[in-house]
Amino acid sequence: MRTLSLCMIVRDERPNLARSLATLLPYVSEAVVVDTGSRDGTPELAASLGARVFVIPWQEDFSLARNYSLEQARSDWLMWLDADNRVPPEDAAMLLPLVQRPGDAVLWATEIVEPGGGRLLQKRLFPRRPDIFFRYRVHEQLCHPPGLAQEVTRVRIYHWGYADPRRRRDKARRNLTLLLKELAERPEDFYVHYQLGRQYYQTGEPAQALKHMEMAAAGPAARENREIYRHARLLAALCRDRLLGLGAARLDLERLAGDCPDYGLVWYHLGLNHFRSREFKEAGESLARFLERGAGHLFLDLPEEKLRLTALLTRAQALRRQGDLAAAEQMLRLAQARYPREAAVWLETAALARGRSDAAEARRAVDLCRRLRQK
């Protein structure tokens, strides 16, 4: 029977560690915990829970620490986990049967980001082999031979580490520092430019973000990583929107939609662009394409439900402003059924009711909106 090691790198994770380990310890042969400088007693807690604990200095490189954890493991298969991750008990029970599959493979799990609910696929389980390892100082990627089999599993991993705003800010500053170091070592790497561009975009620096997104999209990403290529082009367009206005982004968005018509997220942003320009017919058509396709990303933790809610409400507003109240009502019914506890749904319902001179329905919707906002 094949065995499984759990591999973790931690630092000051005492509040999270027991919760993270609880469901997995019954199913793994060992838990390898590599501490990179805790001051809160994390190593001692890990040891008390039964983990094999190793302490190493932090060298500003997540891959270095992760690879060290893999090297300490002794089982046939490995699973990596962060201390702010938790596998539900019913999913933890799947792990050992999964690694009994014939032959070697890389197994994917679905990470669910709390509290936003964004979902993305990640490579989490793999055989212990020297040609499977992590690369990059931050936003590290699991590297393996290209011909190795891959399988998407039903395993879910809940990630709550970004719920605290202060912790998010600290991570953003740390990540920017590490990405700049990585860029100095890999100045032509499209993945590094992409992640650096995302970091600048998220911290409100569109000029810097645009520079790196253009470099990411101009490299071999179109051939080697279609998801990064499309998203880099999209974020470059959104940076131009912030820097230069709607018209600057419009042409880029239309070109991307023409090149990648199956890419749902570009239709979402094109729809919002049309709406802000008061082009309501075009806005509704673009948003309809997004609603048909979804965002179109498997490896980004996008808030898909939030995007869908915005698309439904914006499309309803576009239809209302075109005078098509029946179609707007149909769109709102979809939103009410799917998001009954979202105040914005009932605010738009009230606006539609006023447009139809239905004062009673407008009052009912406004009252419901107020109650939801007070909760």
pLDDT in tens, 295-331: 988 888 888 899 999 999 999 999 999 999 999 999 9
Per-residue pLDDT tens over the stretch 15-74: 999 999 999 999 999 999 999 999 999 999 999 999 999 999 999 999 999 999 999 999
**SS3 at position 352:** helix
- Give the contacts of 153 (CB within 8 A, at least 6 positions apart): 94, 98, 107, 108, 109, 125
Q: What percent of the chain has pLDDT over 70?
A: 99
Tell me what pLDDT residue 170 has: 85
Measured from the Cβ of residue 82, the count of other Cβ atoms closer than 10 Å reads 16
Q: Provide the token pair at 309.
A: 């809610």
Return the ∠ at Cα 108 (arms to 161 and 151), rounded to 5°. 175
Confidence of residue 163 (pLDDT cuts 50, 70, 90): low
pLDDT of residue 164: 72
Q: Return the structure tokens found at 196.
A: 């650096």
Assigned CATH topology for domain 4-159? Spore Coat Polysaccharide Biosynthesis Protein SpsA; Chain A (3.90.550)
CA count, 13 A, side-chain hemisphere, 112: 11
Cβ distance 234 to 266 under 8 Å?
yes
Instruction: Report the predicted TM-score, pTM, of the whole model to 2 decimal places.
Output: 0.92
Residue 114 pLDDT > 90: no
pLDDT, mean over the chain: 95
Q: How many CB atoms lie within 10 A of CB 192?
A: 25
Looking at the DSSP bridge assignments, the partners of residue 31 are: 6
Res. 109: pLDDT tops 90: yes
